[in-house]
Structure formats: structure tokens, C-alpha cells
Structure 1
């Protein structure tokens, strides 16, 4: 009986503390600093409305639920957001948690508020959709709403920040899941949008909850290593300020300790121990105008010795989120390495608040600085152009890749700058310039030197793309491209290519099936296909060919629809087999269980999504219903290389592998894989090779050469 009483008392005390910090009166006092009275009255009305709808609801920590949206509004008030955003923040959960409709909300507080709240709301439960898929679809919905009104993401980030501040009341598994999502998605979004203040706190809170031991060890070690940091910070601030003032530059110099997560990331990125991460202190030099930034840089370098190779000019080459600053590293007092950032007041304002600065400028009746907002919209537009048609799960994975904006700046031959992710390739560059350039590229000149398409690009390089009219995107490019646009364009091309091949193969298979049923080929003309398309519920004959070519439908069954017999009967398999030419590409697959070669007797198994899988007739592992098999034969003009497996049993001695591989190479075959299992008794060893050959005749030539080796006991074909 004691515990419930104690719990109620602790909840009441916590509620009182939360009310003092995040109640409507505390919020109103902040709003009075920058907002007119009539707008504050609207915010208070939204609180009354939300409190009524959330009445009886409580958070997992025990206090009334309304204090969470009030806390979200308080975070946004700290960024000086407009009253529409604050009203939406206070009401951001009402559609999702109270059942009020978007239209009702629009009538009460206006269309903008309703759209922001709807954008933040998760999608409801949908039959057959997993929790991960619902989360991914909710995230896509959030970004779509954000593309219409960027205030949607500001509310969501503030919501996530308050949730991270109050994670302690949740079970550990849920804390880890939310923290991981925060580090993978929401903190990078805050960085992409330039909202430094929210990003830093999200990172540290997520890191602390995801890896509590690592966080506590790092926090303690950093404090021990730095000692009396406040004394060091004051010394640098005073000395730098005095030097700048002596040169007639009015500047403020402010120092701070680096956040724990950024220290941890630097240790991982550069594979350093903590003792090697010296720049644990950062200083900001805020000046009045642009010219003073570069003058201040020279003065700082005169006072403290600069570290070579540690200078970046993000004023001339601003980051994708609009961030501008000069970065340098110097050796400070006591040999401590310090990082210095130099920027104007306006640059600092944007660096701290990113897209939020847009509404702050509007409130101050100044010319709105829309650079961060324009860059955010450009990012979103490019994102949806590149990956908007993906499934929800693919979409969120693409976004994760796109959200880590370590960047390089490279130049076109005409001197235009292109901003790309770190380690981007010439293929990424080509697609960034134009999709058609990406599809036609075959090589690149980087600073005048011919380089492969997989070469990672570095800052300041000039890239020229070499194209060919007959070039096509290569599936291997997916192994090294970094941008979502390049990845999606390549996949789209490969998908279209597979569809073209499926159309050609499907038509051939259907024509053979029609011939077996003695149906003239002219039935494939438009006037004869309508009843068949209606029966199959497909739009046109191309869809029919694709369905046959990819294994979704069997050609003999489709052919019977032209007789008016659309049942489950199977056409006789004693007709002419389909000739395999080796050029069918992505819609014809060769089984790895038996490795069929030209010259083998073969048959095909229809597999959904893979098209026809070719097996040897005597393959023991291929099991399928008789009606799923398609008669196949090799064409007289078969082309291409084919994989096969051989097993070599031989005396185990030095140099054996080298001799066998030399004989394989001498027979003009290439080795794709080699395995050397445990010894097969005594001193014998069995080696397994996967080779590339053109036919059974070519394979026989390889086997003869291997048998000539004296210590070889037996050579057999696998599969």
C-alpha cells in the first residue's frame, strides 16, 4: 500500500517542477520577449484547447500529457519561432492521440496549423504492414509535408528533443531503439538543416542512452585530460580578444568544450585513442563584416601557431545547409590543440539555427535570409526526384545514406562547383551534372589524368567525364556510388533493362507455345489479344511478355487462352524446345547446383522474379512440379562464358596450387573461386574450383591439362 502513495507524491512533485519550467505561464514569459500580445493570446487559446483534448492522458513518467507539447513549444520559442509554429507544437499530437480531424483543427486554428500537425502525425495501423514499415511510411509522409512547409520538421525535431530528454522512464530496449533512430535520422536532419543547437543535444542524449558506459568513460576522461578547462578558455578568450582589438577589429571570442559525441565520432573516424584527440576545445570568433573574417584569421594565426593542413574555408564554399565559417586549428596554451571558427554575426545566427533563422528574420521585419531554407527545399526536391518512387523501407535507407553530408567540392571543366558526399566517384559527379551524362560515362579525367570511374574524388579536383554513345550503366557501379540520385538512376536503368529482356524472352516463349498448339502467330496482333488481356487482367501484350519472361506466368498456359481454354491445362512438352543463345541477360539464370554448360542436356524451371532458371536434366537438387518445367536446348550459335565447378584430388605438396592454376590459365579459363577443404585422408587434398568456360568441350580441354600434373590423382566435374 505504501508504494502507490510514494509514486503519487513523486509524480505530483515532478508535475509541479515541469509546470514551473514548461507550463503555459513560463512559455508566455518567453513569448513576451519577441511576440505581440494578440499572437500570445492565440498560443494560450491553443493550450486551453489542447489541455481539454488531452485531459486524462499521462506520459509514462506520470505527469499530465499536455506538458509534453508545451515543452516542445518552449524549445521552439527558444529559437524565436512564429506563433503558428508554436500553436502547431502545442497541438502536434491531437490528430494522432485524441481523434480530432484535420478539418476540425483547420476550422479552429487555420489551414497552416492543421497541415503542420497532420505532417507530424504518424500514419495509423494498416493491415499487413509491420511496425518498421509503418515507421518508414510515417517518415516519408513527414518529409513530404516538410517539402510543403519546413516548419513541420522544426516541430518534429523539438518533439524528438523533448522525448530524448525524458527517455529515463522507458525500458532499456525502447530507449536504445529511439536513440539509434535519433542518431541515424533526426540528428543528421538537424545538421542538414543547419540547426546546430538541437543537433548537438540530440547527439549527446542519444549517445548517452545508446552507449551509457562509453559515454561515462569518455566524459570522465575528457574532464581529467583537460583539467581546469575554464581557466584555459578564459586565457584564450582574453588573449585573442586583445589581439583583435589592437588591430581595430571588434569581435567577441567565446570558448566551449566539444560535445562528447563529436569526440567519440572523431576517435572512430580517424581510429584514434582519446589521448590523440587533442582539439577538445573550440572557440568562435564573431566579427562584424565579411572582410574581418579573413583579417581575424591572420591575427589568430599570429597569436597561436596554426596546425598545417587543418584549415577549411566554408565561406567561399558554403556547406549544403548554408553554413559559412572559416575553420582552423592552432596550438594553444600548454600545447593544447584548439579549434577556431571565425564568422560574421549573421553567419553565426544561421550556423546555430539553420532554417529556423528564416522565421526569426521575418519576425524582426528584416529581409528574410532564405539561403538555408532554399537549400533545404533543394535537398528535399532532389531527394524526391531521386528516390521518391522507392518502397518505404528503401526510401528510408536511401535517406539515411543521403543524410551524412561529409562533402567534397569539385569543379566541372567550365569551373562550376559541384558539392558531393565524401568519397564520391566520377559516376556520382556525372549524375549530379545530368542523368544522361551518368548513363553514357565510360571514364573520367581528374585534374587531367585518366582515372577509373570508381576513383574517390577529393576537394578542389576538376573532373571531366568521357562518354560513349553506346555506353550503359553498369550494375557494378552500385558498389561504389555514394549519392542517392546515382544509385536510384542505375537501379532504375537495370530494372528497365531487365524488363526489355523479359519482353523479348517472353515473346519468344509464347511464340513457341503457340506453334506447339498449331496457333498462327498473327493472333498476337492487337485485334486478337483483347479477350486474352481481359482474361489475364493485364493492360497490354508487353505486360504479358514480361510476366512470361520473369516466370510469373507459363507460356503454354497463356497460349491456351488464345484457344479459349484459359484453364490449368498444360501444353504438351514434346514441342520444339526454347533455344538458349546465352544473350538473354538478366531474365535467364543458370543454376549453381549443377552449373549447366553448352553441350549439356538442359531444362528450365520457371521461377517468379528470376525468370527461367536453367538446370542440367540430371540435376538431383532441382525439384519442382512438372508443369513448372520448360523444354530447353542450346542454340547452335550459343555465346558467352559459363560457370562450372571442378574438383581436383592430388598429393598435398608445395607449389601444387600454383601448378593447377597455371594449367587452368593455359587453357584460357579464368578462376572465379577456389576452396581447399580439409585433407581427404593421408597426404591427399581436394581442391574445388569455380571456373569460367565456354562449353563442355572447353571444360574437357581444361581437365586434360590438369590431369597432366604428376601429383594429381583425380579430376572431376562438380554439380
Structure 2
């Protein structure tokens, strides 16, 4: 028997001696499920139960049972998966750090550092303060993910914990049941599927469906259990025929019929708009053989028994799914006019298909290669860990993870012939970021099966993709509209923020220099000690942070310049604002995040403009003739003397007021004239309309005043147009 050291009662309960008292039934059930452990390991398991029971003494579940029954039941779920003793001990103690006085150090001394780390990884963050429950759940998930990256067993404990909570959900309130069930269907069941743990995934989905839609679950479940006699007889007939043919080929096999779950039936009915009869009218079987060559032999046998449906064969043995799942899938013409779905796999593949990464601990032969569920799970989690470092918030990260949990995947080839799995509807740009973040950031176009395509092109399985890059190319905000993967979305956002910061630093530098030049100095000529003192006084870690703050309108450049030029007497040297043409800050229109163009007057290159410094928004550009400029004159310190650079890039918004005859085809003529002038139409709206006259507002994009003049000329030439002007 393992000795039980004395524990300080002020910090944690003391576990009672184990003695010879009979074990509770729930502990006996755990030991029976963990039959594969040796005597020493079973003794450790009992010790963990004793410590956990003492720590949770007096605590009960909402059902009224002692709380310790829950963590022991979680350990039993894992024992049924064949997990090692450290995981089972951590499962028994997984709530102790959160809900009892037991400390991390005590767990280390009792059961070792590994168990303590597993328990800590599962522990939620309820003790911290968050704005709402949603944020707390998201941050808890982020912490759990980081722990998963160190040891995958953390997520196994968390999934088992969620599974037992779902099995005992009846004690919760209706609102809590719906919230927990929705979270299970949106997060935990997809994670179980992503890790290849189909048995746990299926039960989580079924329990979540039953809690979320009890009546729908009950109706579908009853229909499944009361199948017509004809269908039951058909199942037996097809199974007997397949078994006979496989036996004649001397294939040592195991043949089982597959029954659809209520959730899978409900999901297919909704997704494919099918009736219950249409979904159920499919027979499913699984053939399990000993070796990979026998899988293909069995495939030939079943194709000889029933004709296969064209284009419905999938070889997941040669090209495994992202979660390590391997099997041959085929669909046959059944003898009763119904499709027959057949899956063919080896015993090891069957174990991995059901248990996923948990199969590693119970199946020691093989499964360690580059296609194993373990290595694929590690790669997926490491990718998520990399992306979470760049996300702005836990909620944003959780949304990215949800995107990455799409059940359907496409499989594409790199130029070297490697296989990449991507979520459904992924684009060439998603592929670029999946290969490497730098490739995505500098992507220009892609070549799919040798043909040049835009980056927004959606990919299909089997395509060969090659990404063309250029060092000068940078991410664009429009990319966020069509990428699908969380990694691509996170990388684009991070890069855009970096580019915006760089633009803000450059603009802030120019603005501060202009302010300093009015007193015949510059940023470079300022004493370093004076600059460092100012940064320290205002808590700026670097000069770049101050310059970005100036560009964003959070500090006025004149005020900063005056403070930097303070004389030893303590007086500030006045800094005058200059409007001389040579003192204007020139903009190209490509300054991201710090220069925007006012919607009230829509300035374009060639217009006389002025800038207004707005806190948090940077410089807002107006035309000098804008009616709102009069109000801005009341705050001269916020004026910014700006002008257009010689090289202006991009398209700029403009608005036209067009009066035309209200007759069929008139609007189309105007739209065609604008298109011929190589201008895009963003939006069209009617300002006035009667039987004879229509007045419309066209929001268009132009490159400069010359481009706008060309558009106006082409529109005026139309016979249906009575008048056109810029507004």
C-alpha cells in the first residue's frame, strides 16, 4: 500500500487511509474498465480516488450525488479508451485545483509533475474576471489549447469531462442545458471529430441534439427503432450476400451493418433538404480485414457483388483525412434500388477511426508514422497555437478555431507532390498560407493544374496548386472577404495591422518634423536625452509609438514639438503652424489606417484639399470647398496642411447626380458609359422619380480628376441624359 503523508489541514484535506473497506461501486466500475493496468498502477488509481474524495468532501453535484462520482466517471470514460494511468489519475483530480484547497505543488509531490500539468491544463479560468460568460469560455479554451500543445492528453480529459456532463445534463436548468448543448455541438464534437475520435464525437452529437431539440430527437429515434420489416429483411439479405462472397475469396474479415444516428439523419435532412425516408433509404456496411492489400481485394469483391456508383469511390487509405482517418469508401447499386454504402479498412484503421488520437495509448503496433492521427493532431494544434499568438482577442481566436473545424475537406497537391488538406471552400490564398505565412503574404496569383487563376479561386480535391509570389506584394483588406481558414485570416489581419502601424509611424514622423521645422530644427537634431526624457515621462516604450499616436490624432504635433523644445527656464517655445505649399504633407492615398477620405465631399487626386486631425482616426481629408470646412476652421490646431503626392495610387470614391429621361434602358445606357470610361459603379440609388424624369445618384470609383472628367463627358453625350454633375 502506498503510504499517505500528512497534509496541512489549513491548505488541503487529508485523504483517509484506504484500509480494507469495500470500494464504492463507481470505483469498482473504473477498475474494471482499467483492467489493463498492473497492480501498482491500480494502487495509484485508488490513491488518486482517496485524495480526490477527501478534497471534494462535502461537495455535491446538482443531482445530489457526491461530487467525486463525476471525476471518477470521467476517468472511466478514458479507461474504456485504453488511456495510461497518468491520464486516469489526472481525470480523477481534474477539478481539484479549481474547486478545492489542493495546490499544484501538492499534486506534484503526490503524483508527479506530469499529472499536475495535465490537471492544470484542464482547469478553467473561472477565478479571473471577464466581461461576460462568452469571453470567459473563449479564454478558457485558449488556455486549454496551449496545454494541449504540450500534451494531447489534456483534450482527451476535457472531452471525457464534457461527455459525462452531457450524460448527466438532466439536472441542469433548461437554459443551461441549451447553452451547454450548443457549445458541445459547435466546439467539442467537432474537436473530437478533428482528432479522429468518432465514438466520442457521435455520442456528444447525439446527446447535444437531444438536449437542444428533445422532441425532434425523440421522433427520429422512434422512427429508427421501428424500422419496417421490409428494410430489416433487406439489411440481412445484403449482409449475407456480401459475407458469402468475401468468404469464398478466403478473406478473413469482420462485416457489420451501420445504423445512422438521429443527429446524422437530422443534419442530412437539413443540409440536403431530404425527407426522413430518403435519408434512411441507404444501407451501410463496414468490412474490417487484416492488412492493406486485403482492403483492395475486398473492394473488388463488393464491386463484383453490386455495381458501383460512378464518382462515389474515395480512397482515404492512400490519401488519409486530416485527422488520420483511413478507409476505402464506395457506394453500390443495391438489389432493392437503394444505395449501399460500404467502408473497408484494417483493424488498426478501425481502431483509429473510432478512438483517434486515443488509439495511440492502446494500440502499440504502428500508428507512429507521418500519417498517424497523433502527428496530424500535433500539427493541427501547433498551427492553432501559432495563430493564437497573433489574434487580438480570445473571442476572435475561438471564431478562427470554429472555422478550422469544418467537417468537410479538400485535398490538394503542392508542386512537390505533397498532400495538403484544407477546409471546404478554401481558396488558392488559403493554400498559400497553409504552405507558409510568408508565401501567403507575398502571393500575387496561383497556377491550378497549370492554369493561371486569381487568388480567390476555390479549390477542389485532386488539384495541383502552385502559388506565384512577388516581394513587393502585400496583403490587402479585400483578402479577408474570401479566405476560409483561421490561419490565413489571422495572418492577414496581423500583417495589415503591421502595415497600418508602419504607415502611422511614417506619417507621424512627417507631421512632427513639419511642426519642428517652423522653429528651424528637426527630429534628428533634437538632443537624444531630451527625446528619451519625453518618451519616459509619457510612458512611450519607443519613439515609433509616439509617432503612431500623433498620426492617429491622439496627440497634436504642435503640442509635442513645443514640449520637446522646452527651454531650461521651463517655458515652451511657441510653434506656429505654416500653410506654405512647401510645408504641406504629401499623401499618396495608400496610407492605411491613418488617412481617410470624408464621405461628405469625397476628395479625389487633383482636388484642393485640407486635413483635419481626428482623435483615433488620424487625418480625415476634405475638399477645401466642402461646406463642413467652415466648422473645422474653429479648431486651427487640428488643421493639417496636406496635398497630393506626384505618385498617387489606387481608386477613390466620387458621386454623380444624373438627371435622365425615365424610359426603359436609360439606366443601362448610363451604366455602360461609366463602364466604358473604366470606372466601377459601387452603388446606384434614385433621388427623385416620376413618369418622365428620374434623378439618380451614382457612387463610382475614379483614379483622379482627369478620370472623373472623362466619365462626365461620356455620360453627357447620351441622348437620355438631361444633366450630370459631381456631388
Q: What is the rounded CA distance, in whole Å, between the counterparts of 2:87 and 2:399 in structure 1? A: 29
Q: Secondary structure at the match of 1:523?
A: coil
SS for the counterpart of 2:525 is helix
| Separation in structure 1 between the aligned mates of residue 217 and residue 60 of structure 2, nearest angstrom | 30
Task: Give the number of equivalent residue pairs.
Answer: 695
CA change 1:518–1:284 in 2 (3 A) is same
1:493-530, CA deviations, whole angstroms, 9 ceiling, x for partnerless residues? 22222222222211111111112344445435745522
Say if 1:557 and 1:567, in contact at 8 Å, map to a contact too.
no
* Equivalent runs, 1:239-388 vs 2, <5 Å: 239-277=241-279, 280-361=282-363, 369=368, 371-388=372-389
Whether the 8 Å contact between 1:580 and 1:635 is mirrored in structure 2 is yes
- Would you say 1:615 and 2:622 are equivalent positions? yes
Give the CA deviation at 1:35.
1.8
Distance 1:697 1:195, change over 3 A: closer
Q: CA deviation at 1:705?
A: 5.4
Tell me how far 1:440 sits from its aligned partner. Answer: 3.2
Q: Matches of 1:481 and 1:622 in 2, distance apart?
A: 44
Instruction: Tell me if structure 2 keeps the 8 A contact 1:278–1:338.
Output: no
CA distance in 2, matches of 1:228, 1:256: 17
CA distance in 1, matches of 2:652, 2:452: 32
Cα separation, 2, equivalents of 1:20 and 1:241: 46
Q: Partner of 1:151 in structure 2?
A: 153
Q: Could you say if the C-alpha distance between residues 324 and 222 of structure 1 is closer, same or farther in structure 2, counting changes exceeding 3 Å?
A: same
1:29 aligns with 2:6: no
- Which residue, 647, 654, 665 being the options, matches 1:655? 665
Paired residue secondary structure (2:641): strand
In 2: Cα distance, 1:271 partner to 1:570 partner = 74
- Partners of 2:385 and 2:462 in 1: CA distance: 28
Q: Secondary structure at the match of 2:585?
A: strand
CA separation of 1:652 and 1:228: change in aligned 2, threshold 3 A: same
Distance 1:90 1:318 in 2: 34
1:55 counterpart SS class: coil
Q: Report the alpha carbon displacement of residue 171 of structure 1 after superposing the two structures with TM.
A: 2.4
Is the 8 Å Cα contact of residues 22 and 71 (structure 1) preserved in structure 2? no
Match of 2:421 in 1: 419
Q: Secondary structure at the match of 1:476?
A: helix
TM-superposed CA distance for 1:656, in Å, is: 2.0
TM-superposition CA deviations, 1:563-594 (whole Å, max 9, x none): 13899999544554643433442121112233
Task: Report the equivalent of 2:111.
Answer: 109
Q: Deviations over 1:377-412 (max 9, x none)?
A: 121112222333322122111111112252222222
| Counterpart position of 2:591 | 585
- Per the alignment, residue 69 of structure 1 pairs with 71
CA contact (8 A) 1:427 1:454 kept: yes
Hey, what's the Cα distance between the residues in 1 that align with 2:178 and 2:573? Answer: 55
Which is worse superposed, 222-231 or 547-556? 222-231
1:642 aligns to what?
652
1:515 maps to what in 2? Answer: 517
Given the two structures, how large is their TM-score scaled by the length of structure 2? 0.88
Match of 1:453 in 2: 455
Q: TM-score, normalised by structure 1?
A: 0.89
Residue 496 of structure 2 corresponds to residue 494 of structure 1? yes
| TM-fit CA distance, 1:230 | 4.3
2:640 corresponds to = 631
**What's the counterpart of residue 480 of structure 2?**
478
Measure, in 1, the Cα distance between the counterparts of 2:285 and 2:637: 71
Are the structure 2 counterparts of residues 619 and 139 from structure 1 closer, same or farther at C-alpha, using a change threshold of 3 Å? farther
Q: Structure 1 residues 646 and 195 mapped into 2: Cα distance closer, same or farther (>3 Å)?
A: same
- 8 A contact 2:565–2:572 mirrored in 1: no
Query: Within 1, Cα distance between the matches of 2:76 and 2:138?
Result: 28
Cα 1:620–1:274 change in 2 (3 A) is: farther
2:698 is aligned with 1:692:
no
Picking from 674, 682, 687, the partner of 1:672 is 682
Is the Cα–Cα contact under 8 Å of residues 597 and 603 in structure 2 kept in the other structure?
yes
1:332-374 per-residue CA deviation (whole Å, 9 max, x = no partner) reads 3422322211111111111111111111135xxx567472222
Report the equivalent of 1:6. none
Question: How far apart, CA to CA, are the structure 1 residues paired with 2:300 and 2:366?
Answer: 32
Q: More deviation in 157-166 or 387-396?
A: 387-396
Hey, what's the Cα distance between the residues in 1 that align with 2:608 and 2:246?
86
Structure 1: unaligned runs, 5 residues or longer: 1-18
- Name the CA shift for 1:497/1:710 in 2 (closer, same or farther; >3 Å): same
In the alignment, structure 2 segments of 5+ residues that lack a partner are 1-21
- Single out whichever of 498-507 and 696-705 deviates more from structure 2: 696-705
Q: Deviations over 1:148-190 (max 9, x none)?
A: 1111111100110111122222222222221221122111111
Identify, as 1 or 2, the structure richer in helix: 1
C-alpha change, 1:275 and 1:553, in structure 2 (3 Å) is farther
Change (3 A) 1:603 1:629: farther
Residue equivalent to 2:7: none
